[in-house]
Amino acid sequence: MLELADYTFYFLALVTLVGGIAVITAQNPIYSALWLALTMVSVAGVFVSLDAWFVAGVQLIVYAGAVMVLFVMVIMLFDLRRETNAFSRGMVSGFLKLASAGIFLGLIGGSIYNSAETVFAPPPAELEKTADATKALANTLFTKYIFSFEVIGVLLLVIAIGAVTLSRVQGGTHAKHD
Amino acid sequence: MPNTIDTILKVSLNHYLVLSAVLFTLGVLGVLLRKNVIVILMSIELMLNAVNVTFIAFSRYSGNIDGQVMVFFVMTIAAAEAAVGLALAVLIFRRFKEINIRYFEHLRG
Amino acid sequence: MGSTGHHNHESSPVDLIGANLSFLGLAALLLGGIGYGLRNADATAATFAILLLAPLFGFLFNGLRFRSKNARLSGSVATLAAFASFLCSISLAMKVGAAHGAVSTKFFDWMTIGDLNVAAGFTVDKISALMILVVTGVGTLIHLFSIGYMSHDDRPSKYFAYLNLFLFNMLLLILGDNLLVMFVGWEGVGLCSYLLIGFWFSDSEKAAAGMKAFITNRIGDAGFLLGIFTLFFIFGTVNFAEINQRALDIGAESGWGGPMTLACLFLFIGATGKSAQIPLYVWLPDAMAGPTPVSALIHAATMVTAGVYMIVRLNPLFLAAPNALHVVAVVGAVTAVTAASIGLTQWDIKKVLAYSTVSQLGYMFLACGVGAFGAAMFHLMTHAFFKALMFLGSGSVIHAMNGEQDIRKMGGLKKALPITHGTFLLGWLAIIGMPPFAGFFSKDEILWLSFHSPLGHWGLWLLGVFGAALTAFYMTRLMALTFWGGSRVPNGVHPHESPPSMTVPLIVLGALSVVGGWIGVPHAIGHALHVPHFLEHWFQGAILGIPGLKPASTALEIALMGVSVSIAGLSSVAAFVFYVRRTELPGKVAAKFRGFYDLVHNKYFVDEFYFGKIIDPLVEASRNLWAYVDVSFIDRGTYAVADMVRGVGSVAKTVQNGNMQQYALYVVLGVAATIFLILR
């Protein structure tokens, strides 16, 4: 018998895929960005359906929040409008691209279809409660993966400086006078 | 055969993987077909999200918390990538007043 | 003198640095050579090293400071290098004499390819001992002479560098214990000859003479190489001693198609190129474009005798191929007469001497051809003395005449140039074969053996005597027109005797031209005077005796000697009468035999024949090959290939066009392929 959780999944999957299709087909980048936000939110829902509450929260804050704001800001900055030719030109190459993506999807889907039936087991007892799961996650992150964590932190710093350097405008209020 | 249909429709790991695969392919198509650099960056975000779904699904399936840690890292990288990619887009826009991916051809030596 | 320059004894700083560096290098290399010998407790190796390396150091020293105009410094270093080699030669010759055999050393293995093992090995036996003594001895004198002769030249350092390099290569040629080392020297002397003939290259005629010499020599060298290949094919070795031993083991081969005969003929082609014999002699007269001391050293005394030396070196091999020896003898005799006849009609003092050299080399080949290898070496030595003397003498004359070479504008120089005249007189007596001068003994031994040897023939003797008569005539003519009779010197030219650095070598060589022959007094005379034939004893063991040589009657030998000497004497007297007493006679005779005179005066039109029948058709054929084969066939083919490659490239380059979405497509395709491979 199908339960509520199954219906929830189908609903979320539908929203995610519709959102994804809309992202890549919308003529106006601002619509793409909004559809992407919707997709992000529904992916967060998918995470919830997999009992990953904390990650779902981060997904909402980082993606649907910060990254989306970044995108929208840039689009606003450029004052981009509806594009007349949103897609790359070339019938042959377009067909090739569609075909290769189809082949890719077919290969992966085929391999999933041929794999064994994999019903979820109930979550282990120590991860039953959300707070316990989050604590376990923190324990793993700050013990086993502490080095990776620090490296990622440094990477973010570098990226921040790099992005500023790249988009720095010559002149302006902070121009160097010499 | 309601039972068979039920068995097929009963959500399992494979359903999540199929969702992830389709979402990833949508991202690929976006990267391949769109001209606008910003939309291409968004498509890349789609692909990364698809991968995240896979991580979480496997994590849930195997009862192992490490998959969720990976998702943290992927999100961080994704944010960084978006920042740099958008900075480049800003540069391209400033130079050509348009952000077509073809302008990146000028980057070749 | 081809060019005029001003004295410049001031050395520039660069020059000084170069000189010091060269001195350091020279000292280091010399010490290295000596050290090599001492480390191996091998005085012989050290001697060899100094002998070979000293001229090379001289070359480096002068080559590195080639812009210097300091003729005195350059010349002194070069002369000292040559003299050091001469001292080593004496030491080695004494070692050879004491050991009664060859003295060898090996510096390193040059190459080992399959069966072929070639060492940088050097050997002095009795043949090469004589040769290095002549080369370094005469070479030293000529270096000394050059200091004075080249003092007004623009590039004396370069000149002395080439001269030392020549000496080094000549020593390689002589001392190499195998054909390949000899070939290196063979090519090296050819190069130096080319460089020195064209030394005044700004004169296009002189540059052309250098090229003619080089190209003609290349033809001979091709034959020489074929000879080496053939010998390696037959014997599997290029070592002289081994080749000679195998040839002895096999014995004489009859007929014309035998491998040894073939090899000998190929080698002889090489010899005709280097030693200016018919048909490749044409380069030597033109080679007189070089500075006169060069003509004396390279084109009279040493390099041109390399062919003779090579044949003597391989005497057991050539004796095993009697038919090849017949060819050598006939070519030698015919060359001797032909060149001498051309010498009768030349007006350039150096050209006369050049044809004389060709003629005398013909005698040496005649001697080789009749199996008288000892006599060939003997004549080589005496010829080196008197011909070097006469060339240097002519250099002295030319120096005195401010570069004039035409003997019609000389005459009566006896008074102005007493020393030159006196020494030239000795050379003249030697070459026409007057006893007891050097040329008499060597030439007479050749003539006698060409008559008496089982390999000889009275016809060859007749040609030889005829050649001797011609020689006497043209040399007397040269003496008469240059030194005797009335002066025809143009106004404004005031001949003067040369400085001591030039006259000393003349005197030394003059003395040698007198006594040089006394080491080979024939038995017919020596028996009565109790003078032994030193040279014959010296060569015993190194040079095979003539097979089947019967004891001869002394009376016959003396009779033939008398015939040849008296014919030569009469011929000289006739020339004296023609050119001193009744100077109107030569013109009359020439007018009477106009056609024949023109034929001889124009050197039998051999050059014209070569150009008309060989070179021009070759050029024409090459031009056609270029037009029809190269341009219209090969070029078209290569262009087609290039266009094809470009077409493929223009298709392939669309793959990498900078379109990043296309690149992403490749990535997707690659990932799909990878997944497919994994799942398969």
The pLDDT of residue C602 is above 90:
no
Please confirm whether the linkage preceding C259 is cis (ω < 30° from 0).
Answer: no
What pLDDT score does C423 carry?
Answer: 92
C664 touching chain B per CB within 8 A:
yes
Residue C22: left if φ>0, alpha if ψ -120 to 50, beta else—which one? alpha
Residue B43 pLDDT grade (very low, low, confident, very high; cuts 50, 70, 90) = very high
Strand runs (DSSP E) across chain A, as ranges? none
| Whether A98 contacts chain C with CB within 8 A | no
Chains sharing 3 or more CB pairs under 8 A with chain A? B, C
CB proximity under 8 Å: B 78-97 to A:
78-80, 82-84, 86-91, 93
Chain C residues within an 8 Å CB radius of A103: 672
pLDDT of residue B71: 93
**Residue A138 Cα, gap to closest chain B Cα (Å):** 9
pLDDT (tens digit per residue) in C108-163:
888 887 777 888 888 998 899 999 999 999 999 999 999 988 888 888 999 999 99
pLDDT band at C231 (very low <50, low <70, confident <90, very high): very high
DSSP tag of C154: S
* Mean pLDDT for the stretch of residues A60-79: 82
What is the model's pLDDT at position C332? 94
pLDDT by residue (tens digit) across C193-218? 999 999 998 889 999 999 999 999 99
| Residue in B18, B80, B89 nearest the CB of A112 | B18
A47 neighbourhood in chain B, CB within 8 Å: 52-53, 56
Report which DSSP code applies to B107.
G
Rounded Cα distance between C441 and C138, Å, is 20
- Local structure of residue A119 (DSSP, 8 states): P
CATH label of the domain that carries residue B42: 1.10.287.3510
Of residues C657, C661, C668, nearest to B101 (C-beta): C661
B34 → chain C, closest CA residue: C661
pLDDT band of residue A170 (cuts 50, 70, 90) is: low
| H runs (alpha helix) in C105-155 | 126-149
ipTM: 0.88
Other CB atoms within a 10 A radius of the CB of residue C543 amount to 25
Please indicate whether, in this complex, the C-beta atoms of A108 and C669 are within 8 angstroms of each other.
no
Interchain CB contact of C656 with B (< 8 Å): no
Asked if C665's CB is within 8 angstroms of B33's CB, the reply is no
> Which of A54, A74, A145 faces B89 most closely, judged by CB atoms?
A74
> Does pLDDT of C25 surpass 70?
no
Q: What pLDDT score was predicted for residue C7?
A: 43
CA distances from A30 to A69, B35, C14, C318 (A): 11, 15, 77, 102
- What is the domain count for chain B? 1
Mean pLDDT across chain C: 86
Q: What angle do CA C542, C548, C550 make, to 5 degrees?
A: 105
Token pair of C71 as six digits: 């003729």
What is the spatial distance between Cα C433 and Cα C427, in angstroms, rounded to a whole number? 10
C5-12 mean pLDDT: 45
Q: How far is the alpha carbon of C193 from chain B, nearest alpha carbon, in Å? A: 55
Confidence check: pLDDT of C3 > 50: no
To test the contact with chain C by mutation, choose from A97, A105, A112 the residue with the greatest count of C C-beta atoms within 10 A, namely A97
Q: Is residue C300 over pLDDT 90?
A: no
pLDDT band at C9 (very low <50, low <70, confident <90, very high): very low
Q: Which residue of C has its CA nearest to A112?
A: C679
Give yes or no for residue C4 having a pLDDT over 50: no
Residue B99 domain boundaries:
2-107
CB–CB contact A70 B6 (8 Å)? no
Closest listed residue to residue C438, CA positions, set C507, C371, C390, C510: C510
Question: How far from C45 is each of C85, C109, C181, CA to CA, in Å?
Answer: 14, 15, 17
The count of residues in chain A is: 178
Q: Which one of B12, B68, B102 makes the best mutation probe of the A interface by having the most chain A beta carbons within 10 Å?
A: B68
Chain B positions touching A21 (Cβ under 8 A) are 26
C661 lies within 8 A of chain A by CB: yes
Tokens 């120590």 belong to A126
Output phi, psi for C328, to 5 deg. Answer: -60, -45
Q: Does C621 touch chain A (CB under 8 A)?
A: no
Chains interfacing with B (3 or more CB pairs < 8 Å)? A, C
CA A139/CA A147 separation, integer angstroms: 13
Give the pLDDT mean for A11-19. Answer: 94
Tell me which residue in C657, C659, C664 faces B31 most closely, judged by beta carbons.
C664
Nearest-by-CA chain C residue for B105? C658
Residue found under tokens 């290259």 = C201
In the predicted structure, residue C503 carries a pLDDT above the cut 80:
yes
Q: Choosing among C659, C660, C669, C671, which should be mutated to test the B contact, i.e. which has the most B CBs within 10 A?
A: C660
Which alpha helices (DSSP H) does C344-457 contain, by range?
349-369, 373-400, 418-431, 438-452
Task: Name residue C121's beta-bridge partners.
Answer: C106
Which chain A residue shows the shortest CA-CA distance from B92? A167
Interchain CB distance below 8 Å, B72 and A67:
no
Instruction: List the single residue in B with minimal CA-CA distance to A136.
Output: B65
Check CB contact of B23 with chain A, cutoff 8 Å.
yes
Question: Residues C385-417: pLDDT tens digits?
Answer: 999 999 999 999 988 888 888 888 888 888 888
Q: In this structure, are residues B48 and B82 in contact, taking their beta carbons and an 8 Å threshold?
A: no
Cross-chain Cβ contact C661/A88 below 8 Å: yes
> Given CB atoms, is A57 within the 8 Å cutoff of chain B?
no
User: Which of A23, A70, A144 lies closest to B46 in CB terms?
Assistant: A23
Of C352, C454, C457, the residue nearest C410 (C-alpha):
C352
Residue B1 distance to chain C (closest CA, Å): 32
